[in-house]
Amino acid sequence: MLLEIPHLLSKKKLTEVQQLLRDARFVDGKLSAGMYAQRVKHNEELPADAAQLQHLNNLVMNTLVQHPEFQSAVLPHRVASPFYARYGKGQSYGDHIDDPVMGPMGQRYRSDVSCTIFLSDPSDYGGGELVIRTPFGDQSVKLAAGHAIIYPSSSLHHVNAVTDGERLVAVTWIQSLVRDAARRELLYELNLAREKLMRDNPDAPETKQVDHTYVNLVRMWSEV
């Protein structure tokens, strides 16, 4: 499932994030890449010891993990610390699939869902589209600043070369309570109907039935 989360970051938060990144020191993105990704990864990233990192995560990640659409669609169990990436003219990230298991020893997690948060306005750079391969063809994604996209980590994807300007994004990965992507999508769609019933007719017997079904499916399919 590809799902856009519009207006994840408010204008105030986005402006603060952009200012922090404007003053930050970036390093070669290959330093965080595996053997294969090093061949196709051409960008820059904020280093793990960057002074701005905690402040950025307070603004970006706290907002993401508390967002109801994110919680409903992803059912997060573990959420990784993000990478803040910068793409200048000519930089790109070739076809790759995200590593299935990430994190240092003792803090390992399975990557079920990937999330890209766009931090530059589309008018600020040319090219730089995130292209995700799906059974229905390639999906090209270039969202407004402050918007996010979630997609299966198992998807083959790439970032087109930036032709001018600068592309800034935050990228993170999530281990879901529900490993199977098809089951997560069913639960998300069921929860949309459940929440509408609970708003419109909370005391109806069918509302209680749908609620109980959703809750018990989450219980049946969850891995903790």
- Residues 81-125 have pLDDT tens digits of 999 999 999 999 999 999 999 988 888 999 999 999 999 999 999
H/E element, 41: strand 41-42
pLDDT in the model for residue 36? 74
Return the ∠ at Cα 187 (arms to 181 and 189), rounded to 5°. 105
pTM, full prediction? 0.94
pLDDT in the model for residue 50? 95
CATH number of 3-176: 2.60.120.620
Strand partners, 109: 102
Q: Please state the domain extents for the chain.
A: 3-176, 181-221
